[in-house]
Amino acid sequence: MNLEKARFNMVEQQIRTWMVLEPAALAVLSTVEREKFTPVAYQALAYADTEIPLALGQTMLPPRIDARLMHDLHLQGHESVLEIGTGSGYLTALLAHRAHQVISLEVHPELAQTAQANLRAAGIRNAEVRVGNGASVQVAEAPFDAIVLGGSVAEVPQSLLGQLKVGGKLIAIVGDDPIMQATLFTRVADQQWQSRSLWDTAVPALESFSKTSHFKF
């Protein structure tokens, strides 16, 4: 299988058609070798528009979802980013190419270890994977310029919104199956946030997040 051709086709047929048009984002998607983050048994599907099974019942999201999550933050290279839900580390890698530093929290130690190894194998040195529950952990390096949730949540907890800098942005897929929306939250003041719905989708839920609301605007 020609993986380079498959990556080119992914960008042209999946990513561009999902309104990822920013040249810097497309360059990253054309560069990062997704097969290095895909379990060996599924590497033939590395660039397919489908979820891919990981250990412990987890999945890699379709590449167009990771692409939009990365793209819609419009990172410029100087940012510190917190990711919740590392999975295989592919989205972590995309973010690391667009930011100064990425800290990623993964609740499963086995996945965290594999993702960190994947990132090292891909030559990425500005991303660190830690074992932790992103729904409740206060990260020492907070506040962050950007926070990304790599799965869906019913509500975004205040504990995460509070770890944004003023002017910082959090992107999450919010809702319950089958109705979910990628939503961009911006911290506009110390105790004030704004939100904007971006696009519809449906993806698996992040573990350990409450089904009840923690935050009201």
CATH classification at residue 56: 3.40.50.150
- Residue 106 structural domain: 3-201
Q: What is the DSSP secondary structure assignment for residue 45, as one 8-state letter?
A: G
Cα–Cα dist 184/169, whole Å: 7
Q: Is 217 inside a domain boundary?
A: no
Global model pTM greater than 0.85: yes
**pLDDT by residue (tens digit) across 87-107?**
999 999 999 999 999 999 999
Q: What is the DSSP secondary structure assignment for residue 159, as one 8-state letter?
A: H
Q: Which residues of the chain have pLDDT under 70?
A: 210-217
Q: Is 212 inside a domain boundary?
A: no
**Helix/strand/coil for 122:** coil
**pLDDT by residue (tens digit) across 100-129?**
999 999 999 999 999 999 999 999 999 999
Q: Is 118 inside a domain boundary?
A: yes
Q: Is 105 inside a domain boundary?
A: yes
Q: Is 207 inside a domain boundary?
A: no
Query: Is 81 within 8 Å of 99 (Cβ atoms)?
Result: yes
**Helix/strand/coil for 164:** strand
